[in-house]
Amino acid sequence: MSHIPIDSKFAKTRLARLTAKLIEDWVAQLQRMPKTKDKNKVEDPEALPPLEPGTRNRLLGDLRAALNAAAERHRRELPGHIQAEIKAGTRTEPLPEEARKQLLTDQQVRAIVEAAFEIDGDFGHLVLIAAVTGARYSQIVRLKVADVQIAKGRIMMPGSRKGRKRKPHPPAAIAVSADVMDRLQPLLGRRASTEVLLWRWVHKRVGNPPRWIKDKRRTWGSAFEVKNSWAKTVELSGVPDDTIMYALRHSSIVRGLMANLPVRLVAALHDTSVVMIEKRYSAFILDMADELARRHAMSLNGETKPVLQAAE
């Protein structure tokens, strides 16, 4: 984490004297990590470009959570304005509309799923569920066998653990197609309903010359474990090189919006808020509203057929 300044005034400030200005000054110092790993080579600090806004926002989110936890723990010893200073100092930056850049067509999503299965069957099932539910990685890896309800054609997706609420979010019932259920069926045979659904192989290096072999099975861990498999999947599927796995979630949300599902329902199925949907996907909501309004537009010549359908 060499891009984080640890010798700044902010780092030396007592929590009781923290101000939004100190946090903002610290954020302004954040820079990308040096490209060289040579400890003897001194990088010119002014030559290092600043961090991307998205990276700064993620760091600010972590910082905000840590400061809020400390302020809550020591609330009786701190002045009452500290929470307001933390909130003001850790405001995130507005980002360009990432969703448009990372949207995938249905054909591309299918190509990604098939490529993932070619790379590795365990990873294929993970990507399949991400594609058809739009859920976060952290939700998918917590699925239990009982959460895949074959008879009802749905997956009961656990709620996310984001935010400060101690009460867990209820699971969302996400309907999936019969062919998806057919591909998930092999994961359910002769397994306890409370067992974690998705597992993966851990490899170990043996022999001389060394080679990698399968060692044991375990559940998926941190999100970085998919990095190599995802890179191979992107290459094999033929989608743009910079496609991120989160694009499956973006695409699922927009697919629901363009299918004219109520925004509140789309938000509930993806375990997010209506405010967040409207903020990040407002352009698609406007497109949807325009199409719906056009269907009810009055025609002077008495035609009842929607203009949009007539043009198709």
- Both tokens of 285, joined, read 């909501």
In the predicted model, residues of the chain with pLDDT beneath 70 are 1-7, 31-50, 95-101, 162-168, 285-293, 295-296, 302-312
Number of domains in the chain: 2
- For residue 284, tell me if it sits in a domain: no
- For residue 283, tell me if it sits in a domain: no
- The model's pLDDT over 32-76, given as tens digits with 9 standing for 90+, comes to 555 555 545 544 545 556 677 777 788 888 889 999 999 999 989
Domain that holds residue 191: 101-256
Co-location of 190 and 48 in the same domain: no
- For residue 236, tell me if it sits in a domain: yes
Co-location of 90 and 106 in the same domain: no
Q: What is the reported pLDDT for 296?
A: 66
Which of 240, 256, 272 marks a domain boundary?
256
| Domain of residue 234, CATH code | 1.10.443.10
- The model's pLDDT over 251-281, given as tens digits with 9 standing for 90+, comes to 999 899 888 899 999 999 999 999 988 888 8
For the entire predicted model, the pTM comes to 0.69
Q: What is the reported pLDDT for 123?
A: 97
Co-location of 155 and 83 in the same domain: no
Co-location of 138 and 233 in the same domain: yes
